Amino acid sequence: MPATSPPDGAVQMAATDRTRLRRLPEQGSHRTADLHAVLDAGFVCHLGLVVDDWPMVVPTTYGRSGDLLFLHGSVASRSLRAAKVSTPVCVTVTHIDGLVLARSLFEHSVNYRCAVVYGVPDFVGDAVEKLEGLRVISDQVAPGQWEYARPPSARELAATTVLRLALDEASVKIRSGPPDDGDGPDTDLDLWAGEIPLRTVRLDPVADPTLRAGIRPPSHLSDGNPAPGSISRHDLS
Amino acid sequence: MPATSPPDGAVQMAATDRTRLRRLPEQGSHRTADLHAVLDAGFVCHLGLVVDDWPMVVPTTYGRSGDLLFLHGSVASRSLRAAKVSTPVCVTVTHIDGLVLARSLFEHSVNYRCAVVYGVPDFVGDAVEKLEGLRVISDQVAPGQWEYARPPSARELAATTVLRLALDEASVKIRSGPPDDGDGPDTDLDLWAGEIPLRTVRLDPVADPTLRAGIRPPSHLSDGNPAPGSISRHDLS
């Protein structure tokens, strides 16, 4: 499979100066479906913000609902609040799919899917909306747990920060397939070329050592239903 | 295993205002050995910079050599050069090790290792130094390929951007082990709690469709020697 083609049809996100794809535009896309697919395949993003004129990048969990991204804001909430009431952020989600090993070191690459979202998030204040945002995040990180585990108390909900970001300005880059030097002079060399796929796998659940005897993992954990972007070890055999 | 203890002994990185660990400091470390271990376990970082007062976060490959980080700068090089000759960056490396499923949704968490490095990188200009930087990156992404594949030509070397960043200001956060509510009142609930470990695995090499017949993958690819942070599928059985 060659590198992803340029977007055709269904171009729904307008390219801004920031999201216009300059380098390797053939790997880029502004299709909403591509954006949603990359976002839905993960649950940890890298949230970038500016603090005292310096960039700051922290990982946090997220979930998507329609054209909204909800971020668990605790890690960055202090910096976000310190920065400004309305502070611009960049949210980047990256999946590493494989090592691309070419005949030349220059053509070595990585197969990946990456979504970059720009915007000014708001802190979700309303308790009902915050609960809904947390549900979206929880469903993306660990499907089934929202219905299974004990819900947040009013105190716990107040202690939790949720950020909401509209998916208005975003771009997607995807590289897949073999190296790009398969039609060049380096094919005359006696060198192997190809891809080493990388996958995230879920191992079997490990019970909390303090778990009372006789409590089994619920079916949504033990019967597959893997975390986004992961596959069960049993799928590999 | 409980969450990582606060650093003891061998504290070699001074905490700056930025890297002082405020939230959940029991998960933090300023030990150089911890920093190196987290950096060495991966090969893709998220590089944050400020462009026109906005944060920008892009993934790129990297390698560590001693107290230096080398970054493959092409993805961000245009923005870096546009930003300023000396532009501050934040480099974040994150490994997601597992889902932490508690009795309460509030105590749900993620097991992870994360390194955050701040600094002002320089573009490596000297050809010999650039080659050395690329070797460091290559050895981290795909050990063995630097000796095996065709070396960069002078033209290819000139077309490649390498950034060098000193590991002067950094912090590490690590969370591991079971959920934190194993000694609270929620243990009375009939709810399972524990961890679902996540691992990155390397699948078997996939040959380029244009590969000439009879060329086998070199031993450093087929005999293990996995990419940092990954394990072979065969290690799982």
Q: DSSP letters of B170-230?
A: EEEEEE-SS-TTTTSGGGGSS---EEEEEEEEE---EE-TTPPTTPPPPHHHHS--PPTTE
Token representation of residue A110? 């990585």
Mean pLDDT of A73-87: 68
- pLDDT confidence band for A1 (50 / 70 / 90): very low
The nearest CA of chain A is from the CA of B36 a distance in Å of 18
pLDDT at B225 over 60: no
What length does chain B have? 237
- pLDDT confidence band for B143 (50 / 70 / 90): very high
Interface touch A199/B200, C-beta < 8 Å = yes
Q: What is the pLDDT of residue A4?
A: 33
Q: Give the chain B residue whose CA is nearest to the CA of A225.
A: B196
Set of chain B residues whose Cβ sits within 8 Å of the Cβ of A74: 23
The nearest CA of chain A is from the CA of B178 a distance in Å of 5
Give the integer Cα–Cα distance in Å for B170 and B66.
Answer: 14
A68 touches chain B (CB under 8 A): no
Percent of chain A with pLDDT over 90: 71
B5-19, B81-95, B114-128 — which one is most confidently predicted on average? B114-128
Mean pLDDT of B58-77: 89
- pLDDT confidence band for B86 (50 / 70 / 90): confident
**B131, B164 Cβ separation under 8 angstroms:** no
Q: What is the pLDDT of residue B223?
A: 65
B155 touches chain A (CB under 8 A): no
A86 touches chain B (CB under 8 A): no
- pLDDT confidence band for B31 (50 / 70 / 90): confident
CB atoms within 10 A of CB A236: 14
A66 CB-near residues (< 8 Å, 6+ apart): none
pLDDT at B235 over 60: no
Say which amino acid occupies A61. Answer: T
Q: Which of A23, A48, A236 sits opposite B55 (nearest CB)?
A: A48
Set of chain B residues whose Cβ sits within 8 Å of the Cβ of A148: 191
Residue B75 has φ and ψ, to the nearest 5°, of -60, -40
Q: What is the pLDDT of residue A232?
A: 64
What one-character-per-residue DSSP string does B98-124 give? EEEE-SBGGG-EEEEEEEEEEE--EE-
Q: Which of B59, B102, B212 sits opposite A112 (nearest CB)?
A: B59
Q: What domains are there in chain A, each with its CATH number?
A: 1-182 (2.30.110.10), 199-237 (no CATH)
The nearest CA of chain A is from the CA of B99 a distance in Å of 8
A89 touches chain B (CB under 8 A): yes
The nearest CA of chain B is from the CA of A16 a distance in Å of 13
Interface touch B208/A61, C-beta < 8 Å = no
DSSP category for residue A165: E
Q: Give the chain B residue whose CA is nearest to the CA of A115.
A: B58
Q: Which of A74, A152, A201 sits opposite B201 (nearest CB)?
A: A201
Closest residue by Cα to residue B4 from B21, B37, B28: B28
Mean pLDDT of B173-181: 95
pLDDT at A155 over 90: yes
pLDDT tens-digit readout, A159-180: 899 999 999 999 999 999 999 9
